[in-house]
Amino acid sequence: MIQSTMNSTRLVKISKYLSKHLRHQPERIGLTLEPGGWVNVDQLLSACKHYSFPLTLNELKEVVAKNDKQRFSFDGTETRIRANQGHSVTVDLQLEPTLPPEVLYHGTGHKTVELIRRQGLCKMSRHHVHLSQDIATAKKVGQRHGRPVIFAIDAKAMSENGHTFYCSENGVWLVDSVPPNYLQQL
């Protein structure tokens, strides 16, 4: 278990900084994502320091271990780090197609419900639509966008009809889109 060395405010600040630069703007601090979305840890720490956001290896390890959404992971040697999903930059995450459970869930804010009913779920600026295996997680995601609304997705039928699913290292299910006929509002 990682011993806490920083307060929760610092933990959140680091997580947001890493999300920005490992998912959306790596070039902003001189990083290039390798296949799989990987970045060398030493290069990341050096870039953070160079761009006035000094970060220690212990802090980085603590963020990876304690991030409530498990957004980041190390490779087996802990010499490379990546964001598990949620990228807006082009990157091959090297995920393998996986058969999904029968039902998956998506949480959103109430303001987008009618659009989703008409158009389904679209990946927008991301690589995939993010789905969860349980209602509680979907609800937490939806709460970030206002009053939460949960949709159940008939993942089994989608898979049988040729839609490809992936499961990221932190258990987030990914798919290119969810047409409206596979959605049911809970």
**Average pLDDT estimate for 174-180:** 95
Q: What is the mean pLDDT of the chain?
A: 90
Among the listed residues 72, 59, 56, the one whose alpha carbon sits nearest the alpha carbon of residue 18: 72
Whole-number pLDDT of residue 71: 85
User: CA neighbours within 13 Å on the CB side: how many for 59?
Assistant: 19
Domains defined along the chain, listed by start: 8-83 (1.10.10.970), 103-185 (3.20.170.30)
For residue 70, is it left (φ>0), alpha (ψ between -120 and 50) or beta? left
Is the pLDDT reported for residue 3 higher than 60? Answer: no
The answer to whether residues 107 and 69 touch, using CB atoms and an 8 Å cutoff, is: no
pTM (predicted TM-score): 0.70
The answer to whether residues 74 and 62 touch, using CB atoms and an 8 Å cutoff, is: no
pLDDT in tens, 84-142: 877 778 777 788 999 999 999 999 999 999 999 999 999 876 778 999 999 999 999 88
- Helix residue ranges per DSSP H, 23-172: 41-50, 57-66, 113-119, 135-143, 155-160
**Average pLDDT estimate for 153-170:** 94
Q: How many residues does the chain have?
A: 186
Among the listed residues 79, 82, 78, 73, the one whose alpha carbon sits nearest the alpha carbon of residue 37: 82
pLDDT in tens, 79-89: 999 998 777 78
Is the pLDDT reported for residue 175 higher than 80? Answer: yes
Task: Give the C-alpha separation, 66 to 69, whole Å.
Answer: 9
**Average pLDDT estimate for 58-75:** 88
Give the Å distances, CA to CA, from 144 to 141, 155, 160.
6, 24, 32
Among the listed residues 158, 107, 97, the one whose alpha carbon sits nearest the alpha carbon of residue 131: 107
